[in-house]
Structure 1
Protein backbone atom coordinates (compact mmCIF):
# COMPACT_ATOMS: atom_id res chain seq x y z
CA UNK A 1 0.00 0.00 0.00
CA UNK A 2 1.26 3.44 -0.96
CA UNK A 3 -0.16 6.21 1.25
CA UNK A 4 1.08 8.95 -1.10
CA UNK A 5 -0.75 7.51 -4.10
CA UNK A 6 -3.85 6.86 -1.98
CA UNK A 7 -3.73 10.49 -0.83
CA UNK A 8 -3.44 11.64 -4.43
CA UNK A 9 -6.38 9.44 -5.42
CA UNK A 10 -8.50 10.76 -2.55
CA UNK A 11 -7.70 14.38 -3.49
CA UNK A 12 -8.52 13.57 -7.12
CA UNK A 13 -11.82 11.96 -6.10
CA UNK A 14 -12.87 14.97 -4.02
CA UNK A 15 -11.78 17.26 -6.85
CA UNK A 16 -14.14 15.33 -9.12
CA UNK A 17 -16.98 15.69 -6.60
CA UNK A 18 -16.30 19.44 -6.39
CA UNK A 19 -16.19 19.67 -10.16
CA UNK A 20 -19.56 17.96 -10.48
CA UNK A 21 -21.30 19.87 -7.69
CA UNK A 22 -19.68 23.31 -7.60
CA UNK A 23 -18.51 23.38 -11.22
CA UNK A 24 -21.96 22.52 -12.48
CA UNK A 25 -23.54 25.29 -10.41
CA UNK A 26 -20.92 28.01 -10.97
CA UNK A 27 -19.82 27.20 -14.52
CA UNK A 28 -21.89 24.69 -16.47
CA UNK A 29 -25.42 25.97 -15.79
CA UNK A 30 -24.56 29.68 -16.26
CA UNK A 31 -22.61 28.84 -19.42
CA UNK A 32 -25.53 26.84 -20.84
CA UNK A 33 -27.89 29.74 -20.05
CA UNK A 34 -25.62 32.38 -21.65
CA UNK A 35 -26.36 33.90 -25.02
CA UNK A 36 -23.94 32.43 -27.54
CA UNK A 37 -23.83 29.77 -30.22
CA UNK A 38 -25.73 26.57 -29.42
CA UNK A 39 -22.92 24.58 -31.07
CA UNK A 40 -20.34 26.21 -28.81
CA UNK A 41 -22.54 25.51 -25.77
CA UNK A 42 -22.78 21.83 -26.68
CA UNK A 43 -19.03 21.60 -27.19
CA UNK A 44 -18.44 23.21 -23.77
CA UNK A 45 -21.04 20.89 -22.22
CA UNK A 46 -19.14 17.93 -23.67
CA UNK A 47 -15.79 19.32 -22.51
CA UNK A 48 -17.17 19.72 -18.98
CA UNK A 49 -18.02 16.03 -18.91
CA UNK A 50 -14.76 14.99 -20.61
CA UNK A 51 -13.08 16.58 -17.60
CA UNK A 52 -15.51 14.74 -15.30
CA UNK A 53 -14.53 11.43 -16.88
CA UNK A 54 -10.81 12.19 -16.66
CA UNK A 55 -11.17 13.16 -12.98
CA UNK A 56 -13.05 9.92 -12.27
CA UNK A 57 -10.64 7.65 -14.15
CA UNK A 58 -7.53 9.31 -12.75
CA UNK A 59 -8.81 9.07 -9.17
CA UNK A 60 -9.67 5.38 -9.66
CA UNK A 61 -6.26 4.76 -11.27
CA UNK A 62 -4.42 6.44 -8.40
CA UNK A 63 -6.45 4.58 -5.80
CA UNK A 64 -5.82 1.23 -7.52
CA UNK A 65 -2.10 2.01 -7.80
CA UNK A 66 -2.03 3.11 -4.17
CA UNK A 67 -3.69 -0.08 -2.99
CA UNK A 68 -0.96 -2.15 -4.69
CA UNK A 69 -3.31 -3.88 -7.12
CA UNK A 70 -1.09 -3.13 -10.13
CA UNK A 71 2.43 -4.42 -10.74
CA UNK A 72 4.97 -1.85 -9.50
CA UNK A 73 6.13 -0.70 -12.95
CA UNK A 74 2.56 -0.30 -14.17
CA UNK A 75 1.58 1.63 -11.05
CA UNK A 76 4.62 3.88 -11.43
CA UNK A 77 3.95 4.58 -15.12
CA UNK A 78 0.25 5.25 -14.53
CA UNK A 79 0.95 7.50 -11.54
CA UNK A 80 3.58 9.51 -13.41
CA UNK A 81 1.27 9.94 -16.40
CA UNK A 82 -1.57 11.17 -14.19
CA UNK A 83 0.76 13.40 -12.17
CA UNK A 84 2.11 15.00 -15.33
CA UNK A 85 -1.43 15.69 -16.56
CA UNK A 86 -2.38 17.43 -13.31
CA UNK A 87 0.87 19.38 -13.20
CA UNK A 88 0.32 20.66 -16.74
CA UNK A 89 -3.32 21.49 -15.92
CA UNK A 90 -2.08 23.55 -12.95
CA UNK A 91 0.59 25.37 -14.96
CA UNK A 92 -1.81 26.15 -17.78
CA UNK A 93 -4.48 27.43 -15.39
CA UNK A 94 -1.96 29.64 -13.57
CA UNK A 95 -0.77 31.13 -16.87
CA UNK A 96 -4.34 31.79 -18.00
CA UNK A 97 -5.30 33.23 -14.60
CA UNK A 98 -2.33 35.59 -14.48
CA UNK A 99 -3.09 36.84 -17.98
CA UNK A 100 -6.85 37.11 -17.48
CA UNK A 101 -7.24 40.63 -16.16
CA UNK A 102 -9.34 39.24 -13.30
CA UNK A 103 -8.65 40.74 -9.85
CA UNK A 104 -7.04 38.14 -7.56
CA UNK A 105 -6.97 35.62 -10.42
CA UNK A 106 -5.23 32.83 -8.52
CA UNK A 107 -8.00 32.88 -5.92
CA UNK A 108 -10.86 33.11 -8.38
CA UNK A 109 -9.44 30.42 -10.69
CA UNK A 110 -8.42 28.25 -7.75
CA UNK A 111 -8.55 24.76 -9.28
CA UNK A 112 -4.79 24.85 -9.86
CA UNK A 113 -4.31 24.35 -6.11
CA UNK A 114 -6.02 20.94 -6.21
CA UNK A 115 -4.13 20.00 -9.37
CA UNK A 116 -0.78 20.81 -7.70
CA UNK A 117 -1.68 18.76 -4.61
CA UNK A 118 -2.75 15.76 -6.71
CA UNK A 119 0.37 16.01 -8.90
CA UNK A 120 2.67 16.34 -5.88
CA UNK A 121 1.32 13.26 -4.12
CA UNK A 122 1.21 11.24 -7.36
CA UNK A 123 4.82 12.14 -8.25
CA UNK A 124 5.99 11.44 -4.70
CA UNK A 125 4.09 8.15 -4.57
CA UNK A 126 5.46 7.03 -7.93
CA UNK A 127 9.03 7.54 -6.75
CA UNK A 128 8.42 5.60 -3.53
CA UNK A 129 7.37 2.51 -5.54
Structure 2
Protein backbone atom coordinates (compact mmCIF):
# COMPACT_ATOMS: atom_id res chain seq x y z
CA UNK A 1 0.00 0.00 0.00
CA UNK A 2 1.19 3.49 -0.84
CA UNK A 3 0.39 5.69 2.15
CA UNK A 4 1.13 8.91 0.26
CA UNK A 5 -1.42 8.11 -2.43
CA UNK A 6 -3.93 7.00 0.18
CA UNK A 7 -3.49 10.30 2.03
CA UNK A 8 -3.82 12.17 -1.27
CA UNK A 9 -7.02 10.28 -2.12
CA UNK A 10 -8.61 10.92 1.25
CA UNK A 11 -7.61 14.57 1.04
CA UNK A 12 -9.03 14.82 -2.49
CA UNK A 13 -12.35 13.38 -1.31
CA UNK A 14 -12.32 15.95 1.50
CA UNK A 15 -11.72 18.69 -1.07
CA UNK A 16 -14.63 17.32 -3.11
CA UNK A 17 -16.88 17.46 -0.04
CA UNK A 18 -15.86 21.06 0.70
CA UNK A 19 -16.48 21.90 -2.95
CA UNK A 20 -19.96 20.37 -2.95
CA UNK A 21 -21.12 21.81 0.38
CA UNK A 22 -19.32 25.15 0.45
CA UNK A 23 -19.48 25.71 -3.29
CA UNK A 24 -23.22 25.15 -3.40
CA UNK A 25 -23.75 27.75 -0.70
CA UNK A 26 -21.15 30.33 -1.74
CA UNK A 27 -21.06 29.91 -5.53
CA UNK A 28 -23.98 27.99 -7.00
CA UNK A 29 -26.86 29.66 -5.14
CA UNK A 30 -25.63 33.21 -5.89
CA UNK A 31 -24.85 32.22 -9.48
CA UNK A 32 -28.35 30.85 -10.08
CA UNK A 33 -29.95 33.86 -8.39
CA UNK A 34 -27.82 36.31 -10.39
CA UNK A 35 -28.89 38.33 -13.36
CA UNK A 36 -26.67 36.82 -16.06
CA UNK A 37 -28.25 35.30 -19.15
CA UNK A 38 -29.66 31.79 -18.88
CA UNK A 39 -27.20 30.02 -21.21
CA UNK A 40 -23.98 31.19 -19.50
CA UNK A 41 -25.61 30.62 -16.10
CA UNK A 42 -26.45 27.00 -16.97
CA UNK A 43 -23.02 26.38 -18.52
CA UNK A 44 -21.32 27.60 -15.33
CA UNK A 45 -23.71 25.48 -13.27
CA UNK A 46 -22.83 22.41 -15.36
CA UNK A 47 -19.10 23.17 -15.07
CA UNK A 48 -19.44 23.37 -11.29
CA UNK A 49 -21.02 19.89 -11.30
CA UNK A 50 -18.28 18.63 -13.65
CA UNK A 51 -15.64 19.79 -11.17
CA UNK A 52 -17.55 18.02 -8.39
CA UNK A 53 -17.39 14.78 -10.37
CA UNK A 54 -13.75 15.37 -11.31
CA UNK A 55 -12.64 15.90 -7.72
CA UNK A 56 -14.57 12.85 -6.51
CA UNK A 57 -13.33 10.52 -9.25
CA UNK A 58 -9.75 11.74 -8.75
CA UNK A 59 -9.96 10.98 -5.05
CA UNK A 60 -11.35 7.51 -5.71
CA UNK A 61 -8.68 6.88 -8.36
CA UNK A 62 -5.94 7.86 -5.89
CA UNK A 63 -7.32 5.50 -3.28
CA UNK A 64 -7.41 2.68 -5.86
CA UNK A 65 -3.85 3.53 -6.94
CA UNK A 66 -2.71 3.42 -3.32
CA UNK A 67 -3.76 -0.24 -3.19
CA UNK A 68 -1.91 -1.34 -6.35
CA UNK A 69 1.50 -2.89 -6.58
CA UNK A 70 3.28 0.25 -7.79
CA UNK A 71 3.54 -0.62 -11.46
CA UNK A 72 4.83 1.82 -14.07
CA UNK A 73 1.23 2.52 -15.12
CA UNK A 74 0.29 3.37 -11.53
CA UNK A 75 3.07 5.94 -11.45
CA UNK A 76 1.99 7.47 -14.75
CA UNK A 77 -1.60 7.87 -13.61
CA UNK A 78 -0.47 9.26 -10.27
CA UNK A 79 1.77 11.83 -12.00
CA UNK A 80 -1.15 12.82 -14.20
CA UNK A 81 -3.40 13.34 -11.15
CA UNK A 82 -0.61 15.27 -9.39
CA UNK A 83 -0.22 17.56 -12.40
CA UNK A 84 -3.99 17.93 -12.52
CA UNK A 85 -4.23 19.21 -8.93
CA UNK A 86 -1.12 21.38 -9.13
CA UNK A 87 -2.53 22.93 -12.33
CA UNK A 88 -5.86 23.64 -10.63
CA UNK A 89 -4.00 25.31 -7.75
CA UNK A 90 -1.89 27.34 -10.20
CA UNK A 91 -4.99 28.55 -12.03
CA UNK A 92 -6.52 29.79 -8.79
CA UNK A 93 -3.26 31.50 -7.81
CA UNK A 94 -2.88 33.22 -11.19
CA UNK A 95 -6.49 34.38 -11.26
CA UNK A 96 -6.37 35.57 -7.65
CA UNK A 97 -3.07 37.42 -8.01
CA UNK A 98 -4.08 39.07 -11.29
CA UNK A 99 -7.13 40.83 -9.85
CA UNK A 100 -5.30 43.24 -7.55
CA UNK A 101 -7.29 42.49 -4.41
CA UNK A 102 -5.86 43.21 -0.96
CA UNK A 103 -4.77 39.96 0.72
CA UNK A 104 -5.46 38.07 -2.50
CA UNK A 105 -4.26 34.65 -1.34
CA UNK A 106 -7.11 34.41 1.13
CA UNK A 107 -9.76 35.82 -1.18
CA UNK A 108 -9.92 32.65 -3.33
CA UNK A 109 -8.33 30.07 -1.02
CA UNK A 110 -9.16 27.02 -3.15
CA UNK A 111 -5.46 26.63 -4.02
CA UNK A 112 -4.81 25.88 -0.34
CA UNK A 113 -6.98 22.75 -0.65
CA UNK A 114 -5.80 21.69 -4.11
CA UNK A 115 -2.04 22.03 -3.75
CA UNK A 116 -1.61 19.49 -0.91
CA UNK A 117 -3.35 16.83 -3.00
CA UNK A 118 -0.93 17.51 -5.84
CA UNK A 119 2.09 17.40 -3.54
CA UNK A 120 1.01 14.23 -1.71
CA UNK A 121 0.32 12.55 -5.03
CA UNK A 122 3.68 13.59 -6.49
CA UNK A 123 5.51 12.24 -3.45
CA UNK A 124 3.54 9.00 -3.71
CA UNK A 125 4.28 8.71 -7.43
CA UNK A 126 8.02 9.23 -7.01
Give every structure 1 segment of 4 or more consecutive aligned residues whose post-TM-superposition deviation is greater than 3 Å: none
- Give the 3 Å change call, closer, same or farther, for CA 49–85 of structure 1 in structure 2: same
Q: How many residues align?
A: 126
Instruction: Name the structure 2 match of 1:104.
Output: 103
Alpha-carbon separation, structure 2, partners of 1:21 and 1:54: 15
Instruction: Name the structure 2 match of 1:6.
Output: 6
> What 5-or-longer segments of structure 1 have no aligned partner?
none
Task: Give the TM-score taking structure 1 as reference length.
Answer: 0.93
Alpha-carbon separation, structure 2, partners of 1:101 and 1:92: 15
Structure 1 residue 71 displacement after superposition: 5.7
1:114 aligns to 2:113 (yes or no): yes
Deviates more, 1:118-127 or 1:72-81: 72-81
> What 5-or-longer segments of structure 2 have no aligned partner?
none
- Pairing of 1:81-100 with structure 2 (within 5 A): 81-100=80-99
Q: RMSD in angstroms over aligned alpha carbons?
A: 1.1
Instruction: Name the structure 1 match of 2:35.
Output: 35
